[in-house]
Chain A
Amino acid sequence: EPEVTQTPSHQVTQMGQEVILRCVPISNHLYFYWYRQILGQKVEFLVSFYNNEISEKSEIFDDQFSVERPDGSNFTLKIRSTKLEDSAMYFCASRELDRQRTEAFFGQGTRLTVV
C-alpha cells in the first residue's frame, strides 16, 4: 500500500540552526501539507502546497518557514533559525487531485527537538 514517507524520524538541533524536514508524498498525489503537533497539544495546520506554490498557510507559518518541492518527488519543510518552541512532531500529508471525495494521508512524522 502506498504511503507517505518522512525522514528523519527524529532530529535534534541546536537553537538558531537551520533544519530541513523531508517528505516523499504518495506518487499520484498533488496536494501536500505540513502539520505540527507540540507535545501534548493538538495537531496544527502549517501550510498547504499545490502546483508548485503555497495555496494556504496558517499564522504559525511565518518567515522562518519555507517549503519546496525540489525534484518532483520530495516535499521539504525548512526552518531557517530554529527556536526552542519549534520542538514538535512534524507531519507531512498528501492528497489526490480534488475529486471532492478524498482524504489526506499522513506520514509517520519527524520529531524535532531544539536544544
Chain B
Amino acid sequence: AQSVTQLDSQVPVFEEAPVELRCNYSSSVSVYLFWYVQYPNQGLQLLLKYLSGSTLVKGINGFEAEFNKSQTSFHLRKPSVHICDTAEYFCAVSDTGRRALTFGSGTRLQVQP
C-alpha cells in the first residue's frame, strides 16, 4: 500500500516570489510520482511526472520537481509564481504494476498581488 502526505494545506505567496509545495510518500515498491493541478471548477491536469531517470523533472507552466529517494520526497517548485497559478495542487503516486493513483490531500496555492 502507498500513501502520500502533503503537509501544507494552504500556501499563500506573493506574485513573483518562489514557491515550494512539499510532498512525501511511502511505498514498499518502486513508484511513479505525479503532480496534478486543479484550477477552480475544473478537472485535474498533469503538471509533471517522474517515472525514472533524472531526478529533476520539468513540467508545464514553469514548474519543476525533484525526486529524492532517500527522503521519499517529490517537492514541487516554481521560481516565480503568477496570479494565474492560484489553484489546488495534488501529489500522487502509483506503483509500477498497480497503476491506480493514490493522491495526497492537496495544497491550495494562493498567489497574492
B71 within 8 A of A: no
Indicate the member of A45, A91, A95 with the most B CB atoms within 10 Å. Answer: A45
Using a CB–CB distance below 8 Å, which chain B residues touch chain A?
34, 36, 42-46, 49, 51, 90, 92, 96, 98-106
Among residues of A, the one whose C-beta sits closest to the C-beta of B42 is A108
The 5 tightest CB contacts between A and B, nearest first, are A106-B44, A108-B43, A43-B103, A42-B105, A45-B100
The total of Cβ contacts below 8 Å across the A-B interface reads: 50
Whether B105 pairs with A33 at a CB distance below 8 angstroms is: no
Chain B binder among A12-20, A73-81, A97-105? A97-105
Number of A interface residues, CB 8 Å?
26
Among residues of B, the one whose C-beta sits closest to the C-beta of A9 is B41
Contacts of A109 in B (CB 8 A): 42-43
